[in-house]
Amino acid sequence: MSLYTWLRTATVGFTVVLATATAASANAAPAPAAEPSATASAAAVVTLRYDDSRAGGWEAAIAAGVASWNANVDNVKLVEAAPGTRAEIVIVATTGWPQATLGPVRPGRQVRVELGSQAVSQGYDKTRIAAHELGHSLGLPDTKPGPCSQLMSGSSAGTACVNAIPNAAEQARVESAYAAGAASLFATDGRVLVDAP
């Protein structure tokens, strides 16, 4: 085989390989878009610490109320403060009616929740009380009078109501308040809401 024939054969072969590779890459499916990393989305979550060290007798109700909020909203998470650290939500047991400072509380700020035994002695559910008062800390006002399906209807739903889960509108309002992380939060309202009937 002459050098000319060999070069011509090699060139034709190279051209066929190159054309095939180009066609294959042109017809290939586009690479899937990268999904946002869990770390990136977790960075927007606002973490609020609560201190229930002075809420003796309410521990189980507080834990259930916290679990309800954590299961139903994504932009904010409630965690128990380590002993000796500052908490954004200070929870205490009292003998009066339940009451709380209206938020939404920001990291580094502080609100107070009073879980009053007077409501329990009247027959109201402890877990609903705790979840309701935490709702105030997250920026939700009372919606009285209201049905049992509204957590923020509080005592107006009656003593038979044990619902401790925020409804879709309540969840959406909290999600909106904490949507862009702590930087977007407006100042805590600061009013104290007393939940007597």
Pairing mode, strands 111-116 and 99-101: antiparallel
Is 59 catalytic? The answer is: no
Residue 167 contacts residue 130 (beta carbons within 8 Å): no
Of the candidates 113, 109, 72, 107, the residue with the CA atom closest to the CA atom of residue 90: 113
Helix, coil or strand: residue 197? coil
Could you say which of 88, 114, 133, 170 is catalytic? 133
Rounded CA-CA distance 101/78 in Å is 16
Going from the C-alpha of 152 to that of each of 45, 84, 91, 163, the distances in angstroms are 23, 31, 18, 10
What residues are labeled active site?
133
